[in-house]
Structure 1
Amino acid sequence: MGSTKQETETQAPPDGRTWRQYFPEGDLWVFGYGSLIWKPPPHYDQRVPGYIERYVRRFWQASTDHRGTPELPGRVVTVIERGFWETLDDPHAALEPTSTNRVWGAAYHIPSSHAEEVHDYLDVREIDGYSVHYTPFHPFTTNSSTSGTSEEPSSPITCMVYIGQPTNPQFLRDAARREPQDVAEVISRGHGQSGKNTEYLYLLEKALEGVGLGSADGHVTDLVKRVREIEGRGEAEREEEKAERDVRLSLSEGGKREDVDLTE
């Protein structure tokens, strides 16, 4: 098996409080590839679409709190270092672009006046198997011209990101539990303190649609298709429409929220 360590990523010690060495001015950048895309942290003053490189996003993290229970864990996303992922048997490998190593999402800038508070908030929100890491984030900008819209290169930003490492107890070590149909069936019946597991999947689907060019995720869209078939067209369409409305509402409220909601 390959190593999960890479040069662009540095894992923080257990107390997770080395963030100031990466952000000496006291402000904080946080990258979200899952629920943070549609449910931002409080107190942010910038939201920037973009991507991180050399990772793969997968619904290979069990959720015993937000989208499941200890008795019936749900499924949520983590990102896996691509070199390690390539050593694993993944039925969705063919859906992963070979020309890029990008995981799309959104980064949030937290001013120094709220950085420690937001770090505490995220530590609690991501407590179920996730740990703090740091990696370059590439902001997404577009250049519109007569020839169309193209991506404009920009300098990377160091971001804090919460990752469910393959060594954490919630990672799906059993390859059979990582089979797409098994994941879809678990999602279709999962429910936790934050709501239905299907809601999480549909919210991620809708949130990714608004991130930027190239943000489609074959793994996510395939699971959506499978869950639709399990749920039935009518129920799935209602849930997807609600997810689309919820994403728009959540992002319109954004960092204006002063209350701290620990649910996903």
Structure 2
Amino acid sequence: MAAEAPISTEDEFWLFGYGSLIWKPPPHFDRRIPGYVTGYDHRGTPEKPGRVVTLIERSFWETLSDPHPSASSDKIWGTAYRIQAAKVAEVKEYLDIREINGYTIHYTDFHPADASPMIKTLVYIGTPDNDQFMGPQDPDTLAEHIYRSEGPSGPNKDYLLSLEMALDSLSPESGDYHVKDLSNRLRKVSEATGSVSQGQKALDHELKKVHSTDEQEETEKRIL
């Protein structure tokens, strides 16, 4: 699908990573920078399907009725990855297979956490015609659903709590209100059931750098 050409210094290729891409980076990156983008929302999300976050255009989200309290910040925190020049085509092909179903490609300004100059990054944006797009949901009901759901990658609650931990680690101001609120609701569900499992704390994810798209695919089969 068509997309505007990126405006980037020295024709570098940068990717904005949100969700599990924060702790599961793409292959062949040589720089990783925490920071944020603006103009998007992250709350767009069949036997017990789990829930994950995706980015959607804020203008679309504002047309929906959201039962979750609104936060004032327009910043969506994540990480920018610079892909090695010789591997750009390979990584783009890999990401298209991984992300393109129900997503569209945008190029957007990324603001590094250290206030260094902006970077133009590629980002995959969720579209409402995606069959798995859930839209707004009652946060307590959603927390209970996440607590119960589990799939080949593991418990859905581990994904949420790991995302909370990953976002908190990016910058002193990077904690995400909606993710934290949902995580707190999840912890209450866990406490109410008397569970002392991983539902009460995030997995200790170590940033693992992989060196090929094949290796990345195997990593995704093994961990969240």
Tell me how far apart the structure 2 counterparts of residues 26 and 121 of structure 1 sit (CA, whole Å): 20
Tell me how far apart the structure 1 counterparts of residues 82 and 91 of structure 2 sit (CA, whole Å): 11
1:37 matched residue in structure 2: 22
Structure 2 residue aligned with 1:78, among 54, 61, 64? 54
**In the TM superposition, what is the alpha-carbon distance from 1:229 to its structure 2 partner?**
1.7
5+ residue gaps, structure 1, are 1-11, 62-69, 142-151
2:164 matched residue in structure 1: 205
In the alignment, is the contact (CA less than 8 A) between 1:45 and 1:255 conserved in 2?
no
What amino acid is aligned across from residue 119 of structure 1 in structure 2? K
Structure 1 stretch displaced more, 199-208 or 127-136: 127-136
Q: 1:237 to 1:224 in 2, by over 3 A?
A: farther
1:82-161 alignment, distance < 5 Å: 82-94=58-70, 96-97=71-72, 100-141=73-114, 152=115, 154-161=116-123
Tell me how far apart the structure 2 counterparts of residues 92 and 242 of structure 1 sit (CA, whole Å): 22
Q: 1:110 to 1:127 in 2, by over 3 A?
A: same
In the alignment, is the contact (CA less than 8 A) between 1:55 and 1:82 conserved in 2?
yes
2:6 matched residue in structure 1: 22
In the alignment, is the contact (CA less than 8 A) between 1:45 and 1:110 conserved in 2?
yes
Q: 1:131 to 1:192 in 2, by over 3 A?
A: farther
1:48 matched residue in structure 2: 33
What amino acid is aligned across from residue 146 of structure 2 in structure 1? I
**In the TM superposition, what is the alpha-carbon distance from 1:127 to its structure 2 partner?**
4.7
1:178-189 alignment, distance < 5 Å: 178-189=137-148
Partner of 2:216, secondary structure, is coil
**In the TM superposition, what is the alpha-carbon distance from 1:198 to its structure 2 partner?**
0.8
What amino acid is aligned across from residue 6 of structure 2 in structure 1? Y
Q: 1:210 to 1:91 in 2, by over 3 A?
A: same
RMSD: 2.5
What amino acid is aligned across from residue 32 of structure 1 in structure 2? G
Q: 1:159 to 1:185 in 2, by over 3 A?
A: same
**In the TM superposition, what is the alpha-carbon distance from 1:50 to its structure 2 partner?**
0.5
In the alignment, is the contact (CA less than 8 A) between 1:135 and 1:159 conserved in 2?
yes
**In the TM superposition, what is the alpha-carbon distance from 1:43 to its structure 2 partner?**
1.2
Over the matched positions of the two proteins, sequence identity in percent amounts to 45
**In the TM superposition, what is the alpha-carbon distance from 1:32 to its structure 2 partner?**
1.1
Structure 2 residue aligned with 1:260, among 209, 212, 216? 216
5+ residue gaps, structure 2, are none
In the alignment, is the contact (CA less than 8 A) between 2:161 and 2:183 conserved in 1?
yes
Partner of 2:165, secondary structure, is helix
In the alignment, is the contact (CA less than 8 A) between 1:121 and 1:260 conserved in 2?
no
